[in-house]
């Protein structure tokens, strides 16, 4: 099995909030890491044009990815307009085809905003189908297969009805929390945006509180939570736990 992990989430800073500690640990274990966002975050501002904020956020995302030696990609879809349609799915499949991941991390099936849910659908479809020879014009790379697939926590760990999600896997990120914080701090433009639109002025502290809550469940200082997709055709063994040594719940 190749050691290539692909994190596909909706917006710049989603990976840093939801799973950067785990990505940092995978990178330390010798895995090649790719971080994909569906959008460049063109609505993440109260003052700049879509082009201006997208350029800023793209650079922030690249800088954050570089903290762990990861490669950043963007599908260049638009904030709040991410759709599960043929054109967007083809772009997703083509990118998966060029990366050939054996491990994929994406959003959960239900979350607080539809961009996240649409990316979930795109990631599920691409993870299952990218290795089919006729699915893309790009050649099938050695090692292409249906990957292990994991869903991050929804934001705050809550589904749209306010229920706390029960994870299948909790990964100890205590030792990588400093790196996760460094990566999130790269997204400086979002401090102003969250303060203006969400009424939040402490996005790093909020990230750490959530990590501490999940950590308490597993007996760690900090943890990231995942639900593994174990449907037909997908691997059922808990690869994240096998690699990183944390205890699944």
**Average pLDDT, stretch 87-93?**
98
Provide the sign of the torsion angle of the four alpha carbons 152, 156, 161, 165, taken in this order: positive
Q: What share of the chain is helix, strand, coil (3-state, %, to 5)?
A: 45, 20, 40
Q: With respect to residue 24, please indicate whether it lies within any of the assigned structural domains.
A: yes
* The pLDDT of residue 56 is above 50: yes
Calpha distance 47→53 (Å, rounded) = 9
CATH number, domain of 239, equals 3.40.50.10320
**pLDDT, average across residues 103-107:** 98
Rounded Cα gap, residues 152 and 177, in angstroms: 16
Does residue 70 or residue 202 have the better pLDDT?
A: 70
pLDDT at 11 > cutoff 70:
yes
State mean pLDDT over 76-90.
98
Using the predicted structure, report yes or no on whether residue 115 has a pLDDT greater than 60.
Answer: yes
pLDDT at 248 (0 to 100):
38
Number of neighbouring beta carbons within 10 Å of residue 1: 11
User: Mind listing the pLDDT tens digit for each residue in 193-226?
Assistant: 666 666 655 788 889 999 999 999 999 999 999 9
pLDDT at 95 > cutoff 50: yes
* Residue 87 located in a structural domain: yes
- β-pairing, 32-39 vs 169-172, is unpaired
Q: Are 15 and 38 in contact (CB under 8 A)?
A: no
Which among 206, 217, 130, 203 is positioned nearest to 170, based on CA atoms?
217
105 pLDDT band, cuts 50/70/90, is: very high
Q: Is the pLDDT of residue 246 over 60?
A: no
Percent residues over pLDDT 70 in the chain: 94
| Residue 64 placed within a domain | yes
* Domain limits for position 118: 4-244
Task: List, for residues 28-48, the tens digit of each pLDDT value.
Answer: 999 999 999 999 999 988 889
On whether residue 152 sits in a domain, the answer given is yes
| pLDDT value of position 178 | 96
Does the structure show a pLDDT above 50 at 61?
A: yes
- Residue range 133-144, pLDDT digits in tens: 999 999 999 999
Q: Domains in the chain: how many in total?
A: 1
Residues with Cβ within 8 Å of residue 225, at least 6 apart in sequence: 152, 153, 157, 165, 167, 169, 170, 171, 214, 217
Residue 249 placed within a domain: no
Check residue 219 and give its pLDDT: 94
Find the mean pLDDT for residues 87-105: 98
Q: Within a domain: residue 77?
A: yes
Asked whether residue 129 is domain-assigned, the answer is: yes
- State the pLDDT confidence band at 1, using cuts at 50, 70 and 90: confident
Could you tell me the end-to-end alpha-carbon distance of the chain, in angstroms, rounded to an integer? 25
pLDDT higher than threshold 50 for residue 247: no
């Amino acid at each position: 099995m190749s050691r290539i992990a692909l994190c596909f989430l909706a917006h710049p800073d989603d990976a840093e909030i939801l799973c950067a500690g785990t990505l940092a640990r995978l990178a330390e274990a010798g895995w090649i890491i790719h971080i994909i966002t569906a959008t460049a975050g063109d609505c993440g501002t109260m003052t700049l044009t879509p082009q201006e904020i997208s350029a800023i956020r793209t650079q922030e995302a690249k800088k954050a990815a570089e903290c762990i030696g990861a490669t950043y990609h963007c599908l260049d879809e638009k904030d709040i307009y991410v759709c599960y349609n043929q054109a967007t799915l083809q772009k997703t499949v083509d990118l998966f085809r060029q990366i050939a991941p054996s491990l994929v991390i994406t959003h959960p099936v239900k979350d607080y905003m539809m961009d996240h849910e649409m990316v979930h659908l795109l990631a599920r479809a691409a993870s299952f189908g990218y290795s089919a020879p006729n699915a893309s014009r790009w050649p099938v790379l050695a090692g292409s297969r249906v990957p292990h697939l994991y869903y991050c926590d929804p934001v705050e760990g809550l589904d749209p009805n306010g229920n706390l999600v029960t994870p299948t896997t909790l990964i100890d990120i205590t030792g990588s929390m400093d790196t996760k914080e460094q990566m999130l701090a790269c997204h400086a433009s979002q401090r102003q945006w969250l303060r203006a639109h969400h009424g939040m002025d402490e996005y790093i502290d909020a990230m750490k509180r959530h990590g501490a809550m999940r950590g308490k469940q597993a007996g760690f200082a900090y943890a990231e939570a995942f639900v593994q997709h174990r449907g037909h055709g997908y691997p059922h063994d808990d690869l994240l736990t096998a690699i990183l040594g944390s205890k699944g719940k």
